[in-house]
Structure 1
Amino acid sequence: MILYTPLSETDIFPSADQDFQKRHCVSYNGKQMYVEEMEDGQFQVLQLLSTDPHDFMNVDYTPGTILR
């Protein structure tokens, strides 16, 4: 099978399910987002899920932000 895609192989075929066990879809301040749980119990924003363009201008929801 040949896949013609700009994505890398690891994006299409993830290495293991345990890599995604720490990722969750949560609601924070009324906004839906994907976060990843860190070792110290805090969460790091991976992706904001919103249809409101103003939400993406808020620096509290940028990817990489640590939620307490």
Structure 2
Amino acid sequence: MNYYDSISDLLLDLRGDLEEIGNENIWVYYDNSGNVTDYRYKNTPEERKPKERENQTIKEMPAIDLLNELSI
């Protein structure tokens, strides 16, 4: 987990991953304020949702959706 300090760093990595891995489903990690703190590609399509930590929400979505959400 990276837990990015800035959205620009996260976007840079996400764009690179989209080029390399493609538009697969990912786990997106949010803090209590609704800010994205990290993302991770699913190991398999059937992978179960990771356990959320306190003050954290995890959602599944296609990688391109996260890119579009953050690029607004």
Higher strand share: 1
TM-score (norm 2): 0.21
The higher relative CO (CA closer than 8 Å, separation ≥ 6) is in 2
Higher helix share: 2
**Max Rg structure:** 1
TM-score (norm 1): 0.22
